[in-house]
């Protein structure tokens, strides 16, 4: 039996390893337009590549490009492109206002605010002095100098007190009332000042804001009073009074710790009795301040 095999069939048989013996080579096939040839895959067997190359009109299989080596993890991290930055959303107008307000410098208002430079205590006026213990000293003549001057700020709107709440005639006579007056009396009696003939007190009043006349500085009036009374020590009660008298803006703790002098007279700053009623833990510090002031009077 004669097998009439064309070139394609013979190439397939040769690729399968079957040898075909033919008496004579077939006649060349007529010219047929061929498709563009592509390189034979490097992995195909050599007989198949030769058969496909000799067979007309059969397109060769596409060449598989060699697989690129997979880079290691460090190399991938180095060559990995950085992710594009994601634009942040525009903040809301309210958030922008809050952030701007947080970065803006804060301004602190001091109460009470001191006056211009060289005029401390503007906006305050000094009341008339009075003896704290009028009966102290008995009938003996009062010395011309020495003793104490207590400066304090009375409450702006005192509550009405019953007769039982008002201090008795033997209590310290100051602008304070009620429990604050009794507490101050106990503090002064602990220093035996109820027997001292020269213990004075003067109240500091805030000048009304709508006053027709311009406010005068407190310092000249205070210096004139000190020259008149000539005390050995000035005791200032409370933060507002201390700032008005000294023309300073520091906290009460700083003013208590520093030594002061007004017109050459040693001055001691301590707590206000109304504050001590609300904060009994500060009474020990107030007693230390009183002992400090007592040392000035005993050193004279």
Could you read off the pLDDT of 270-281 as tens digits, one per residue? 999 999 999 999
Calculate what percentage of the chain has a pLDDT beyond 90: 37
Q: What is the structure's pLDDT at 297? A: 87
Comparison of pLDDT for 21 and 100, the residue scoring more: 21
Q: What is the structure's pLDDT at 42? A: 46
Q: What is the structure's pLDDT at 288? A: 95
For the domain made up of 124-155+164-299, the CATH class stated in words is alpha beta
For the chain, domain boundaries: 1-20+45-53, 124-155+164-299
Tens of pLDDT, residues 103-116: 443 332 333 334 44
- DSSP of the chain: ------HHHHHHHHHTT-----SSPPPPPPP-PPPPP-PPPTTS-HHHHHHHHHSTT-PPPPPPPPPPPPPPHHHHHHHSPPPPPPPPPPPPHHHHHHHHHHHSPP----SSPP-STT-TTTTEEEPPPEESSTTTTTTSPPPSS-SEEEEE---SSPPP--TTTS--TTS--SS--HHHHHHHHHHHHHTTGGG-S-EEEEEEEEPPTT-SSPPPPHHHHHHHHHHHH--SEEEEESHHHHHHHHT--S-HHHHHHS-EEETTEEEEEE--HHHHHH-GGGHHHHHHHHHHHHHHHHH-
Q: What is the structure's pLDDT at 99? A: 47
Model confidence pTM above 0.85: no
**Average pLDDT estimate for 129-148:** 86
Split at pLDDT 50, 70, 90, the class of 217 is: confident
């Amino acid at each position: 039996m004669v097998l009439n095999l064309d070139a394609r069939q013979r190439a397939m048989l040769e690729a399968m390893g079957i040898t075909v013996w033919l008496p004579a080579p077939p006649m060349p096939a007529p010219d047929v337009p061929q498709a563009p040839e592509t390189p034979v895959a490097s992995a195909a067997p050599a007989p198949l590549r030769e058969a496909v190359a000799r067979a007309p009109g059969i397109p060769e299989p596409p060449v598989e490009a060699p697989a690129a080596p997979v880079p290691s993890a460090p190399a991938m991290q180095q060559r990995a492109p950085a992710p594009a930055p994601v634009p942040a959303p525009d903040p809301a107008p309210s958030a922008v206002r809050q952030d701007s307000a947080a970065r803006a410098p804060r301004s602190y208002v001091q109460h009470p605010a001191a006056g211009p430079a060289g005029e401390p205590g503007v906006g305050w006026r000094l009341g008339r002095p009075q003896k704290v213990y009028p009966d102290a000293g008995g009938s003996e003549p009062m010395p011309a100098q020495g003793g104490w001057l207590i400066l304090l700020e009375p409450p702006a709107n005192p509550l009405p007190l019953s007769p039982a709440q008002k201090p008795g005639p033997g209590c310290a006579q100051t602008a304070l009332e009620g429990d604050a007056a009794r507490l101050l009396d106990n503090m002064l009696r602990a220093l035996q000042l109820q027997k001292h003939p020269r213990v004075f007190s003067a109240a500091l009043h805030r000048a009304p804001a709508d006053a027709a006349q311009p406010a005068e500085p407190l310092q000249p009036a205070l210096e004139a009073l000190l020259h008149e009374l000539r005390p050995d020590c000035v005791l200032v009660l409370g933060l507002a009074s201390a700032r008005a008298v000294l023309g300073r803006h520091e906290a009460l703790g700083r003013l208590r710790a520093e030594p002061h002098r007004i017109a050459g007279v040693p001055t001691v700053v301590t707590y206000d009795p109304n504050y001590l009623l609300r904060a009994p833990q500060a009474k020990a510090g107030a007693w230390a301040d009183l002992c400090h002031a007592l040392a000035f009077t005993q050193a004279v």
